Structure 1
Amino acid sequence: MAERNSYHVVPGDEGWKAEREGSSRASSVHDTQAAAIDAASGYLSRSGGGELNIHGKDNKIRAKDTIAPGNDPRNTPG
């Protein structure tokens, strides 16, 4: 089975971080969560797609998205 790309947008001491899953440091740090989401989405789309996990200020996952051309695990649209 192919390895899945996965990024997490998490709060950090100096802003919002876009982190590749399994990496020891952030790929980028941003002033806003929206900017970190845009960056992580771009990283995923340029590397073959995958899963984007968006964390809230409490560091709990609040949303997930599949970035094309990744394989969405759900079989229903939406």
Structure 2
Amino acid sequence: MANYHVSKDKDTGKWNIQKEGGQRSSGSADTQKEAEKTAKEYAANSGGGEVRIHGLDGKIRDSDTVAPANDPTSSKDTKH
């Protein structure tokens, strides 16, 4: 199980995908949507986890649980 973060690289203008605790980027994409999709694939391939999406200000603006990880809240995700 692995968690991933999606954030904008101000130098390149691309959206980076980074495994939580990792030193280097796991990948990048031209759009936030593409990066989010790829991060969810990475999380699913590692047994599930959380994908945390950061806004342009660097703060987490959304977080999605990827199966088969357990969602820490029992509420239904209405955004996706």
Q: Which runs of 5+ in 2 are unaligned?
A: none
Hey, which of these two has a bigger chunk of strand by percent? Answer: 1
Deviations 1:21-48 (A, max 9, x none): 0001110011110110011000001110
Deviations 1:39-62 (A, max 9, x none): 100000111000110000111100
For the residues of structure 1 that align with 2:74 and 2:62, how far apart are their CA atoms? 18
What percent of counterpart residues are identical? 45
Displacement of 1:77 after TM fit? 2.8
Map of 2:2 onto structure 1: 5
Between the two proteins, the alignment pairs up a number of residues equal to 75
CA RMSD of aligned residues (A): 1.0
SS in 2 for 1:10: strand
Q: If the length of structure 2 is used for normalisation, what is the TM-score?
A: 0.88
* Runs of 4+ with deviation above 3 angstroms: none
Q: If the length of structure 1 is used for normalisation, what is the TM-score?
A: 0.90
